[in-house]
Structure 1
Amino acid sequence: MGKQATIRDVAKLAGVSLATVSRVLNESDYPVREELRQKVRAAVEELDYVPNAVARSLRREAVKDIGLVIPNVSNPFYLQTMLGVNDVLSKNECSMILCNTLRDVEQERGCLRQLYERQTRGVILSSVDESGDVVMEYSRRGMRFVLLDQKLTGVESTGINFDSRAGARMAVEHLISMGHSRIAFATMPMTRWTRAEMHRGYRDALLGAGLSYDGSLIYEWSPSSWDANSDLELETGQYIAELFLGDGCPATAVLCVNDMVAIGMIKVFLKHGVRVPEDISVIGFDDIPFAGAFVPALTTVHQPAQETGRLAAMMILNALSSDDGELTVSMNLTPRLVIRDTAAPPHAER
């Protein structure tokens, strides 16, 4: 008897990815062109490939609960992501288990432990843990992960990322094009990959325009303690704005690590009579629903949070239904600058 064909053999003969073969065989809702479906079916017939129907049945039975582990439900970006995840899961008759880690590493690890103990096999994770050891351990035990806008050292996992470096570079280049040369960067701790990527993009834009990089214009704040009932991003923006004003407004523009930090800064600026954008330009990051309604309407870098959630949910369901347990897929989303009312040429240029 010859060697039994595998899903890899089918993918190779059809000239498609393992994920595409899996979607066709499992009749996934994920869109696959009819032309590719026909190629997969033809390859299956030619190779006399017989999927493990029992295993597929067990997998489908097991995929009922999906964990969503996020650092802060009070941030509108994560709320939009959650809506996208829930939309896809509910249509696939799955339940979402929401875990709010409150940006605490131990809390996150406890959430993952609880999800594992209740045999939740799929987790969408936005991690605050700088180490990938815990995720790797649970991966070895059979849990599947989709990482949200995060890269963990040593972890090879399906993920959906936003090109934060390009987004920050785009925002700073926009400010430079209006005549700004002293641009600050307001951020929470740059221990997270996305924040470090934004910092790299900020620096890229300055150096690319022939401007010097001034470390004194990096306003990075990490609170010594945090009340879980408070809004950390908003408070971060308010605190940094006070520092910035205390330093004598050393820049004519500020790029903020997210919209909530930007809104916090603007509130303090206006409180002290500093006009936005007449006296200082501010650009946010995320484009939360409130950004356009805020006064003044916030110029920001758009991240499609709800669509990110939908894609992450489709990816975790596909990972759990795949015949190849080692298959990993990464997706990188492109940024878009949304120009509104908080950025203008520096005051001296008017």
Structure 2
Amino acid sequence: MASRAGTSTAVVSYVLNNGPRPVSESLRAKVIDAIDELDYRPDRRARALRRPRRWRQIGLLVPDLGLPLFGEFVGRIEVEARARDHLTMIGNTGYDPERELEFATAFTEVGVDGLVVIGAANAPETAKLCRQERIPVVWLHNVRGDVADDIVAVDHAQAGALAARHLLDEHACHDTVFVGGFTESDVRHGDRETVEQRFEGVASVVGAGLRHIRTDLTPAGAYAAVGEFLRTQRSPRAFVVGTFGQAAATIRAIADAGLQIPERIRVIGFDGGATDYGQLRLTAVQQPVDELARRALGQLLGEGGVGAELRASLRIGETCGCSAP
């Protein structure tokens, strides 16, 4: 390129990097003409390696930015990353294994310094890619498939048991129904692993009498399935709804069936911190999102061990029959 422009490689570098020394307009024009003729494209990864950086980068893969829980995770991770001089690149995977791997590949190509994957849908292949590229990866919330590393998460089975135990001990609900599917035939794209673990936790308290409404984890799916159940089956004393996204749809289906909450049917859901301004405040088992995000970033950047096991807690609202604070 320098010979095509009739100048030195140093001058070409000054033009490409806009400095550090000035270049006359006539000489700059010759370099730009040579760039166009040769169809030159700079290697941005190589330039990034040479240039001192104030900010480093991490990749963050999220299954569904439209869900409140994952939005909370993204917000906290971005704050934690900025506090450590890292910018966050976000990919919305839609629980699609191919899309997850595409994003992970793209992030490695632009030179991220690490990857956080929330709710991985293709964990084994994503882990393999990160090993090949020598990029650290941290798994947050849950994964689909087996990985060698620990997952930064609460015990979702304990979370399910917490909901069922509250209904049984505080409200004497011996007839509880779980809402949410978790098999491949139920759910193609969705957080079915977490729902299955929560179901197992509820079943550990309720026992063999636990009834189950299978859904595809969408609000529309929950509304239709719960409505059909209430039309054709004996109505229960309580519902435990496996995802936050289906809780409002379940409550609407109960109301449309002419049943009152919590007088006739009690409801407990999961996650969803900002639920104080609906007609009824949802009682929900909640994850410590801030601490989970801190641990994920700390583990990714080598800042220490994972610490004590984190547990979910019950946030009392009005839908379970308690007097909400």
Structure 1 gaps of 5+ residues are 1-56, 223-231, 323-327, 346-350
Contact 2:178 2:240 in 1 (8 A): yes
Aligned match of 1:247: 232
Check the 8 A contact 2:267/2:319 in 1, yes or no.
Answer: yes
Tell me the CA shift for residue 296 of structure 1: 1.0
1:194: which partner in 2? Answer: 194
Partner of 1:34: none
The range that moved more, 276-285 or 263-272, is 263-272
Change (3 A) 1:305 1:294: farther
Indicate the SS of the match to 1:240.
helix
1:65-84 to 2 correspondences below 5 Å: 65-84=57-76
Contact 2:124 2:145 in 1 (8 A): yes
Match of residue 156, structure 2, among 164, 171, 181: 164
SS in 2 for 1:283: strand
2:129 maps to which of 99, 120, 137: 137
Return the alpha-carbon distance in structure 1 between the equivalents of residues 257 and 206 of structure 2: 29
TM-score of the pair, normalised by structure 1: 0.68
Q: 2:259: which partner in 1?
A: 274
Amino acid at match of 1:337: L
Residues 1:250 and 1:128: Cα distance change in structure 2 (over 3 Å): farther
Q: Following superposition of structure 1 onto structure 2, how do residues 295-306 of structure 1 map, counting pairs within 5 Å?
A: 295-306=279-290
Say whether the 8 Å CA contact 2:164–2:206 is kept in structure 1: yes
RMSD over equivalenced CA pairs, Å:
2.7
Contact 1:161–1:331 under 8 Å retained in 2: no
Q: Confirm or deny that 1:332 pairs with 2:309.
A: yes
Is contact 2:240-2:269 (8 Å) kept?
A: yes
AA at the equivalent of 1:129: A
User: CA 1:62–1:189 in structure 2 vs 1: closer, same or farther (change >3 Å)?
Assistant: farther
Q: How far did 1:110 drift?
A: 1.3
What does residue range 95-114 of structure 1 map to in structure 2 within 5 Å? 95-114=87-106
Match of residue 84 from structure 2: 92
What is the deviation of 1:194? 2.0
1:182 match = 175
Deviations 1:199-234 (A, max 9, x none): 111111123xxxx334xx212222xxxxxxxxx643
Q: Deviations over 1:113-145 (max 9, x none)?
A: 111221223111023426523323322431211
1:213 correspondence with 2:209: yes
Q: CA deviation at 1:277?
A: 0.9
Does the 8 Å contact 2:120/2:144 carry over to 1? no
The DSSP-based 3-state class of the residue aligned with 2:259 is coil
Shifted more, 251-260 versus 330-339: the winner is 330-339
Question: Which amino acid counterpart does residue 149 of structure 1 have in structure 2?
Answer: H
In the aligned structure 1, how far is the partner of 2:67 from the partner of 2:205?
A: 28
- 2:319 corresponds to which residue? 342
Higher relative contact order (CA 8 A, sep 6+): 1
Give the 3 Å change call, closer, same or farther, for CA 76–170 of structure 1 in structure 2.
same
2: CA distance, partners of 1:136 / 1:312 = 19
Q: Which runs of structure 2 are paired with 1:292-331 in the superposition (5 Å)?
A: 292-318=276-302, 329=306
CA, structure 1 residues 235+125, in 2 after alignment: closer, same or farther (shift >3 Å)?
same
Q: 1:104 deviation in Å?
A: 1.7
Q: How many residues end up aligned between the 2 structures?
A: 265
Q: Distance in 1 between matches of 2:309 and 2:234?
A: 36
TM-score when scaled to structure 2? 0.73
How far is the alpha carbon of 1:172 from its aligned partner?
0.5
Residue 306 and residue 267 in structure 1: after superposition, are their counterparts in 2 closer, same or farther (change >3 A)?
Answer: farther
Following superposition, the deviation at residue 186 of structure 1 comes to 0.9
Q: Which amino acid aligns with 1:312?
A: A
Show the counterpart of 2:274.
290
Alignment check: 8 A CA contact 2:65 2:92 kept: yes
The CA distance in 2 between the partners of 1:246 and 1:304, in whole Å, is 37
